[in-house]
Structures are given as C-alpha cells and as structure tokens.
Structure 1
Amino acid sequence: MPRLALYTFGVLKAPLADPAPLTQEFYDIGETVYREIARHPGYLAHAEAEHGDRGSHFEADWGAWGEFAVPSWYDKGRTAQTTALAATLSLWTGLRPAFDAVHTGLHREALRRRHDWFERTGHPGHVLWWTPDTTTPTWQHGVTHLHHLHTHGPTPHAFTFRHAYAPDGSVGGA
C-alpha cells in the first residue's frame, strides 16, 4: 500500500540563529508541534537529523532521508548562523490523517501565524506525493516534487491538500 509523503518549505524572515523574539518563538513552538503531530493517527515518520543543532540543516546527517536539499530559488544562508528556512519531510498512511494533523491543534495555530515568521515567496509551501511502502522519500525527492508542483500545478506526481490525487492517479483523496 502506498504511503503519502509531505514536504514543506518556507523562507524565514530572519535566520534561525537570530535571537529576535519572533524567531525564538517560531523555533520554540516547533518542538511542541512536532511532538503533537507524531502522536497523530496516520503519522508514520519524519526526517530527523542525527545530531542537528539549530540551523545546521546542511551539515546534518539525515540517514535514510538523504542529504538535505532546498529548492533552487532559496537564496538565503546555508550555515548555522545564516540559515533562514523551515523544512519538513514526513510520511503518512493517507491524505486524511495528514490533512487533519496539519489543520488541527497546535499546527493550525502556527499556520495562522505563518506570515509573522515567513516571507511570501510566490512558491508553494508544501507538496504531497504517493510513494511505495518500501521507499523512504529523500529531501531531494521533496525538492523535485515541489519544483514540479510550481511548474506544472497539481498532478498525480505532485499535489496539494486542496488539489489532491489518490494513489491510482484519480482526482480526490484516499
């Protein structure tokens, strides 16, 4: 049975290392949001760095999730002091559980505040795609699917919650 991969990417208004209150607030709430999402029905796993420190996405060991990658349009820093991004990569049993987790609880509250923390880039902030149950998606897969979504719009290869596709490629959720 295929699993649903979800990649999110946003450009922060300030680097993660910035001690400004809004940056600190975003970083602090992230841990709590992750813990809540990890308990959500249908959640399978998410990419976690082996020994990642704040902002060290590019140097971290992500194991089976592969080397950290970002969309080509990301033009901010790549060091722990200058990285200004938030990215997630996760696996789900289906569209409904992922949608529910993203649009309820603490994550929903965080979504309401996204314009406080993130720049508006004109690019999609998330992409979904179906992956075989024997495959762990990589960061590069996420970037590739996000680029595809931006270039071609929603397709069975890369889609959004609003314009979803079932594993067989038909329009709609699973």
Structure 2
Amino acid sequence: MYQLAQVNIGRMRAPLSDPLMEGFVNQLEPINALADNSPGFVWRLQSSEGDATSLRVYEDDMILINLSVWSSLRELSDFIYASAHRDVMKQRRQWFERFEGVYIALWWVPEGHIPTAEEAKERLEHLQEHGPTSYAFTYKQPFAPADSPQAAPEPVTDECMV
C-alpha cells in the first residue's frame, strides 16, 4: 500500500516578521488545522511551533518548505483546490515571489514512511532535471505507484495551478 508525499517550496517576499507577511502568518494555524483534519491527511513536516516556517533546508533563508503525506492524489487535490486553502493560494503572490524552476513535486511512499526534507529536495531536483517520472511527478502528469496494477490517476487541472 502506498501514500502520496508532496513537497512545495516558495521564496518569501520578506521575512516572516515583516508586516508584508502578516496575512500569510495569520493564516498558518487555521490552514494547518484544516489540513490536519482533512480526509486523507496522514502527516506534515513541522517544528515544535506547529508549522515548518522555522525550518530551513536551503541556503537561501527566504525559502520555506511544505512537506506532507496524503492517502491519495484526489484527497490532496480536494484539500488544495476545494477547501479554504484555495483562497490562500489565490493570495500567494502577495507573500511569495514567482519561483524559477520546479517548486512542487509528488511521489509515492510506502505506507508509514515519513519523508525527510532532504528526500523532498532530492525529488524536486530530480523533477527539475528529468521531468515527470514515477520517481517525482506533477499534478498535471501523475504516475501510479510503480508496482500498482491500477492505471495512473486522472490529471488534476485547476485555474489555481501555476
């Protein structure tokens, strides 16, 4: 049995303490709580503060990482595009610069596996270098787990996707 890992990164327009980031910071707790209670949610990367904003995995301290595990692509997509998270995504350009290169990657993990931030970075780099494969893919070009007899899930399309 497999679960879906997802990572996305973004470069902030200002430090989290800057008034420019206040709208983003104010929505962290409610959106994280929404994720935690969404169907299909399994796990998310977080520090003792309850989010991942203090974790830095890139040399650029302005890059934030979001890493989570879900039961399926459909359940992750429902959270991202059919919940209050969608409204936050519509505002993301207020807080985050347009990112050059790949900033979202998906991959299948064995049930119970908790991906590390380093693993997530590796998946993003692989996707950047090789395009979508079963090792790291996108919402628009998903892959089924390598040993799954089922066909790949239908691609997710939405006006919010960049």
Unaligned runs of 5+ in 2: 155-162
Is contact 1:43-1:91 (8 Å) kept?
yes
Partner of 1:6: 6
In the TM superposition, what are the counterparts of 1:11-160 in structure 2 within 5 Å?
11-18=11-18, 20=19, 22-51=20-49, 55-58=53-56, 69-70=57-58, 76-77=60-61, 84-160=62-138
Question: Relative to 1, partners in 2 of residues 1:125 and 1:54: Cα closer, same or farther, differing over 3 Å?
Answer: closer
- 1:172 equivalent to 2:152? Answer yes
Amino acid at match of 2:17: A
User: How far off is 1:138 after superposition?
Assistant: 0.4
Structure 2 partner of 1:64: none
| Structure 1: 4+ residue segments shifted above 2 A | 50-56, 168-172
Kindly provide the amino acid, as one letter, of the partner of residue 143 in structure 2: Y
What is the rounded CA distance, in whole Å, between the counterparts of 2:38 and 2:132 in structure 1? 26
Shift in Å, 1:50: 2.6
| Residue type at the aligned position of 1:172 | A
- Match of 2:134, as an amino acid? P
Return the offset for 1:53.
8.5
Residue 29 of structure 1, CA deviation:
0.7
Cα distance in structure 1, aligned partners of 2:152 and 2:64: 28
| C-alpha displacement of 1:56 | 2.8
Question: Could you tell me how far apart the structure 1 residues matched to 2:53 and 2:17 are?
Answer: 7
Give yes or no for contact 2:45–2:52 (8 Å, CA) kept in 1. no
Report how far residue 51 of structure 1 moved: 4.6
Q: 1:122 and 1:48, CA in 2 relative to 1: closer, same or farther beyond 3 A?
A: same
TM-score, reference length from structure 2: 0.84
- Structure 1 stretches lacking a partner, 5+ long: 59-68, 78-83
Aligned-residue RMSD, C-alpha: 2.2
Q: Tell me the TM-score normalised to structure 1 length.
A: 0.79
| 1:4-31 Cα shifts (integer Å, max 9, x gaps) | 101110001111122x1x3011111121
Asked if the contact 1:15/1:85 (under 8 Å) is kept, the reply is no
The answer to whether the 8 A contact 1:16-1:54 is kept is: no
Q: 1:93 to 1:52 in 2, by over 3 A?
A: closer
Deviations 1:99-155 (A, max 9, x none): 111112221011111111111121222111001114210000110001111111111
The equivalent residue for 1:81 is: none
Higher relative contact order (CA 8 A, sep 6+): 1
